[in-house]
Structure 1
Amino acid sequence: MDPLSALRDFTIRGELDKIVRVNDEFRFGSDYTFPCSAETAYRSKQGNLYTLETLVYYIKNHHLKHTDYFQNTRNQGIPSVTFPDRKPLLDYLTGKVSTTDSIEFLVPQNPRFPDLPIPSVSDEYRPDDVPVPGSNDVVEPGPIDDRARAHKETDSVVDYITLIRTAERPLKDREALLECKGRNFYSVLTASTRREEERQRLESQQRKDGLVAKSRLMGADERGLGGYGDELGYDPTPKPKMHLKGSKIGEGVPIILVPSAFQTLITIHNVKEFLEDGVFIPTDVKVKQMKGAKPDCVTVQKKFSRDRDRVVTAYEVRDKPSALKAEDWDRVVAVFVLGKEWQFKDWPFKDHVEIFNKIMGFFLRFEDDSVESAKIVKQWNVKIISISKNKRHQDRAAALEVWDRLEAFVRSRSHS
């Protein structure tokens, strides 16, 4: 009997526990012994013949999920049964189907026995191949052996494995090619992750250093750099002051104002995550996460854009308009409105028309809020931005709309 038929027979009879591995052989009770590496007649859809070792391990572990089964075979260095072959192979070995196109009971001809006919599938198993209990005769399985004994001119014992391998070539499937015993790609993954984290850290530090240097240079310009300007590579020639009346932005980092009241969606506590990362975090949640006192000023930059070559500009975010000096108002480019009249009390402007002609206004709201919440805001020249209460993946689009509107507004003021 061939290895595949023996394995199927033991599987159907529920005697898999009698299949024991001893060194490099599988012993099927006291009936048969086959090499572990013996190739069976079951051909994979990828073209290779499965070995007996592969099929024995699979039929004893077919209840495992394919991912767990595949990992176990890798750890033990056993070629695995591919996922497309699992069910057809299981159906055949358990007797649900009697045959399948994947089975090829073919034995190549050997120069030692050139006139031996190739057995057909019907020769796979014959009753007279089964040893008779109590008999002292050793019955060798298979029809080939019967025919080989007819050749009296040779005294050699027929080696079936040699017969099979004379006309075959080794094949490997995609899974076998990727197997490397004792090696994995975890170290490659960790190394690449560390490099990416280091790159992001350096970029973040460079942005911070650039902001500090820009702030110092601008402060030095107002005081006068004297002879140090050439050494720093900075032009100390005083630039003309730009004032709001004339519609241009004043010197220095542009300012964005946000309400100090908690009933608005955007505050100084969560503005950085929204504008830089495109993620809305409720103020009450952010306050619990923050340590220390509330900051007077937060610096934000646009970290994402449709234009990869766009120059990144830094903005100061403040929530205390009363603390601004007269020259600071020249730098105010945007405001997130609360929707209340008292937010603009003591602002250096005549009315709402003047405010939103010289400052870009934004009103952030939940998309399912009532229309009444934006009733007053709709009377002003303000851009209403809606976000979802639960779908945080949509925040990025809302933040990008804020940046696009703000940058267009800043460009128009700079060129007017």
Structure 2
Amino acid sequence: MASTNGLAPDPLALLRQSIARGALPTASADQDPSIATETTQSLARASYLIFNEDGQHIAIPLTQETRFISPAAGKKGLDLRSVYLCWLNKETSVGEYLAAVSALNEELKGLGKQETVANFVFGEKIDLTAWLAGDVGEEDSEFIRSLDANKASRAETRDAAAIARGDGDVEMRDAGALDDAKAEQERLKVIYASERTMGDRNVALRGAKPQDFSDVRKKYSALFFSKSRHSGQNATGAPGTGLPNANPALRPPVKSTPAGRRPEPIILLSPSASSLLRMPNIKSFLEEGQYAPPEGGSASNILHLTRVLPSITSKPIRFILVDDPSTFRPDYWERLVAVFTTGQTWQFKQYKWTQPAELFSHALGVYVGWKGETIPDSVKGWGRGVMVAQIDKGGQRWRDREVVEEVWRGIEGSMKATGWGKEGKR
């Protein structure tokens, strides 16, 4: 439900419901969707998203804060315009998405608006688009605060304000009787009266006398950023992409995984055109056990699939499949469990581990070729760190299932050997 207990409609829940019905909301410059001249295709000119729920139009301001809490944005809720732009670019490449963010911000500035659109980093974009598409449960997002948490937060804020004013109508949720509630309320008044007012982080760091650190920022900004531009390499020693914030070492730290949530293992594919398994056909191969040529299918650069690995956990494990690691944060490499390769070493130039021997000591290498064809010498030379699987070149597609199960057994064995358990990697 988008609205509960008389609260205002929740924009994220409304958007998720609209996507499930296949009817995206309409951008409008006015709250009244009947004014045809006010509907627009431009998110910069628009001020509202109009949702059609049970025959009623619900107008939500594009500047409204959502329940998506971004560590990169100071752990505050991102606005609806940023969320909607991210969804519209769910299948675009990283460069195209960043260009769309930049173009929308320029358009907003040109219209004299003070709002700006936030850029969702790699992990946040995966989490948001999967949640909106319904690929994960309502309460299973790493970054989206639950509706119950939102209601509790608003209630606590109202109670704190009421106590500060000395009001006597604060709801005591944990009290079992009226006398207990009054006693608890009096105790809270004493606690709040004894609190010391703390300064913000600037006061704590700088003290009473302001200090100017601009010379330090200037010195080290020139040192690190100029090196990055001139060498064209990121922190891992791999060629840079030229995209803003493409260096994983310069990104804000990733939010730690909440208790009870298992980190999602990552599988990297080869971007080579000669690879038999690429983004358009890898999911059907690993999930359905049937090979199809990679010409058709999804053009997305991020895919998800689930698989039960009995020796690790009885619960389904959700895997992330990508073919471009240029936007990886350092901790993502710890979640890498398999690398599909064609035997071409240029594939590893942007990896954390560029040498095959080191790479395949951290993750299983998987070479998939045609049955009866010669295995590349490079693959043979990489030893037991790379498993070889061969699929039938003819029309006997029923044999594909055997190959797929062989690949999953290899991944499962490698994950178990490298410390993966039911709670994740130890």
In the superposition, the TM-score normalised over structure 2's length comes to: 0.38
